[in-house]
A and B are shown apart, each in its own frame.
Chain A
Amino acid sequence: MRLPYLVPTLCALLAALVAVPAQTPDVTSDQCVGGKLDAPVRLEVFSDYQCPACRGFYLDVIQKVLATYCSQDKVCVIYHEFPLKNHNLARVAARYSKAAQRLGRKQWVAVMGALYTSQAEWAWDGSVETVVSRVLDPHDFAELKKRLEDPSIDAAIDREVALGEKREVKSTPTFFLYSGGKEERVVGGVPYAVLQGYINRLIN
């Protein structure tokens, strides 16, 4: 094939292959840690509370995204529980998180923050309940304990794990970024400055 034909052919082929249409799974507004579901950018994170990289990603990156973009409804952040089998307390922490999610966004964000901030503490001595009790008022904590007994908590976690497996999540954190009908999958964390630059480009 001659040069004048080869280059445009390859470019056209590449352009057709590059566009990855979003296969947006069903998500509900109660799964949003911050922002609204119809925000121009949506981040869906599969995370494990006992994973150090997930801790870093939440505390150094996601918290800034929540403060900067979700507060203005420019980004919606969704968290899916993905407790890894090799982390013995990850499932316990995920249960507390899921129960807190059912109390409301404020309580959920508080519990998430506490679980990630004090990860070393509860991962060492198993004091998940103590860590969670510090950030909830007595009424909310009593309500959370009641909800922990609900078997649908485990079913909800299993559903999120199954969703992750279906989307070929193999390690945590893995996140999916949806914008303009396109989906991008990212394995591992990304520094806030890089994500900020990328989100700004998508929004603008």
Chain B
Amino acid sequence: MVLRILHWLSRCILAGIFLYTGYIKIRSPLQFAAVLSGYQLFPDSLILPLADYFPWVEIALGVLLLIGWKIRYFAIAACALLAAFLTVLTITYLRGIDANCGCFSFEDRISLLTIGRDTLILLPALFLALIRVPGSGADPAQTKIA
């Protein structure tokens, strides 16, 4: 029962985070492009396409996590996305670049605090990806195994 509640909570938290962060980026594509260029990692030609499409990936992931369909696959995708994002943040921080995090707002500088906070977000994604909870969602494969 506890595991099922945790599973449900993880889904809701993760979906909420992806929906919110996707939404703020879609609302301000140029601001998000400015954040991406601030990382000094991507070529200028790639920044606008990334700013256009990346937020929709977050929204799609948020919706799919909320629905609960094939949840383990999409939780793995969420882990990969969060890990990639954490890598970018860590690289930028270690290079000593004073850049915006672009995580929950556009006035959040990259710091150990923001990196720590984003690492915490990885926990519910890892929980959903790694822990099988019988009858916890609409994942047919999972239900069958249970």
Contacts and interface: CB of A to CB of B under 8 A. Distances in A.
A106 interface: no
B23 A194 contact: no
Interface residues of B, number: 24
Contacts of A195: 30
B77 to A, nearest CB: 17
B82 interface: no
Interface string A1-22: 0010011001000100110100
Contacts of B67: 3, 6
Interface in A123-179: 170-171, 177
Contacts of A104: none
Contact of B63 (A10, A18, A184): A10
Interface stretch (A25-33, A80-88, A185-193): A185-193
Contacts of B59: 14
A190 B27 contact: no
B34 A171 contact: no
Interface centre among A17, A184, A188 (most CB of B within 10 A): A188
Contacts of A14: 23, 26, 59
A10 B26 CA distance: 14
A56 to B, nearest CB: 12
A188 B34 contact: yes
Contacts of B37: 190-191, 194
Interface of A: 3, 6-7, 10, 14, 17-18, 20, 170-171, 177, 184-191, 193-195, 197-198, 201
Interface of B: 19, 23, 26-31, 33-34, 37-38, 44-45, 47-48, 59, 63, 66-67, 69, 100, 106-107
9 contacts: A3-B69, A6-B63, A7-B63, A14-B59, A20-B27, A177-B30, A186-B28, A187-B34, A190-B34
Given A193-B45, A194-B47, A198-B33, 9 more contacts: A185-B28, A186-B34, A187-B106, A188-B34, A188-B100, A191-B37, A193-B47, A194-B44, A198-B48
Top 9 nearest A-B pairs (CB, nearest first) are A193-B44, A190-B34, A186-B31, A197-B48, A194-B33, A191-B37, A194-B47, A186-B30, A184-B30
